[in-house]
Amino acid sequence: MATGRLITIEGLDGAGKTTLAQGLTDALRAAGTDARMLREPGGVDASERVRTLVKDPDIRIGGRAEALLYAAARAQLVEEAIAPALAEGAWVILDRFVDSSLAYQGAARGLGIDAVREINLFATAGLRPDRTLLLEIDPAAGRARTFSRGEAPDRLELEAEDFFRAIAAGYAALASAEPDRFRTIDAELPEEQVLAAALAALEDLSA
């Protein structure tokens, strides 16, 4: 049986993660790979309900509760969708994973990366991505993209500029600590160049 691969896409809001996830999925399928696209939080019914909760701008959620809710949604997604897909030899293209919690809750919320990592190790049974693509964008540019969509901002998108700068710094530290897993891509490049860079970053996993 072919080896399943877990490819995660990380970055600030507005970096183009969902666009890249769809592009990668389409390109891999065109090349004959069983590629399945999922998102976080969400992907399965229970996790989608958590997504609705954590994004609701009218609800106050404390930092610790926020981290635990994301971990709970992640646990269900791994058990119900990711682990079975990997066992079948599929490539899972995942829009956000544990690194999002490390950067958002661990770094920006000040809960501590190690503490947030610990609850996510439990939630995911230690599942680790084969490759993480970090879409790097200036926080102000990311926010401009987000608000240009004409959609009402969600609870996290309403945070102040400093929050997103702390997230960016958190991501940079994570990428620096694990250079074998992370590949950083300039998210301000044209869409087709971002996709080409992402595909190049996955070439060694096909061997």
Q: How many CB atoms are located within 10 Å of the residue 171 CB? A: 26
| Res. 1: pLDDT tops 60 | no
Give the domains, in start order, of the chain with CATH numbers: 5-206 (3.40.50.300)
Give the three-state DSSP class for 118. Answer: helix
Asked if residue 198 has pLDDT above 80, the reply is yes
**Looking at residues 154-172, what average pLDDT do you find?**
94
Is the confidence at residue 18, as pLDDT, over 60? Answer: yes
What is the pLDDT at residue 207?
57
* Confidence band for 185, pLDDT divided at 50, 70 and 90: very high
Indicate the average pLDDT of the chain: 96
d(CA 187, CA 34): 26
Joined tokens for residue 65: 């509760």
Partners of 92 in the β-ladder: 6, 36
Q: Beta strands 182-186 and 91-95: pairing type?
A: unpaired
| pLDDT bracket for residue 143 (50, 70, 90) | confident
- In contact, 23 and 95? CB cutoff 8 Å: no
Residue 7 has φ and ψ, to the nearest 5°, of -110, 120
In this predicted structure, what is the pLDDT of residue 206?
82
Q: pTM for the whole thing?
A: 0.95
Reported as a pLDDT band with limits 50, 70 and 90, residue 2 is low
Residue 40, pLDDT above cutoff 60 = yes
Residues 151 and 14 sit within 8 Å (Cβ to Cβ): no
